[in-house]
A = this chain, B = another copy of it.
Amino acid sequence: MSDDFADRIRSSGKRLTAQRELILRAVEALEHATPDEILTEVRKHSAAVNASTIYRNLEVLEELGLVRHAHLSDRAPTYHSVGEHEHFHIVCRDCHKVVSVDPDVVAPVARRLDDEFGFVADIGHLTVFGHCADCLPG
């Protein structure tokens, strides 16, 4: 599995660095972490790493298909490893609770968008905002 990672990096012409590995491990450990949270996590395990290195590598790791991001708030995006099975998110506007949902739930819509518009939806990036049962009036 670390070998998968090493191969994936190298075969893209990029280099395997300590920082890259640390950042990927941090994303795997945290799930749904912002760049800042990832920075904090990385620093727990190793000496100082620069914030710009986090941003640059999250971009690289996403290009390589090793991590993904979603927008769960109006603030910073959150990253998660692709190892987890694909899912999308529903987020409550009031209590900010996040629930991961199986792609099957939106499959019919994806099909319809493809049929009607020739549009292929990126389900893994999808976030649906709304109100959860606990926060609904009444």
A residues contacting B by CB (< 8 A) are: 71, 74, 77, 90, 92-93, 99, 101, 105-106, 108-109, 112-113, 116-122, 125-126, 128-133, 136
User: Does B130 lie within 8 Å of A118, measured CB to CB?
Assistant: no
Q: Is the interface of A mostly helix, strand, loop or mixed?
A: mixed
User: Does B128 lie within 8 Å of A121, measured CB to CB?
Assistant: yes
Give the chain B neighbours of A121 by CB distance below 8 A: 90, 128-130
User: Does B105 lie within 8 Å of A118, measured CB to CB?
Assistant: no
Bound Cα distance A48, B132 (Å): 42
Give the chain B neighbours of A93 by CB distance below 8 A: 122
Give the chain B neighbours of A112 by CB distance below 8 A: 105
From the candidates B109, B128, B136, name the one contacting A105 in the complex (CB within 8 A).
B109
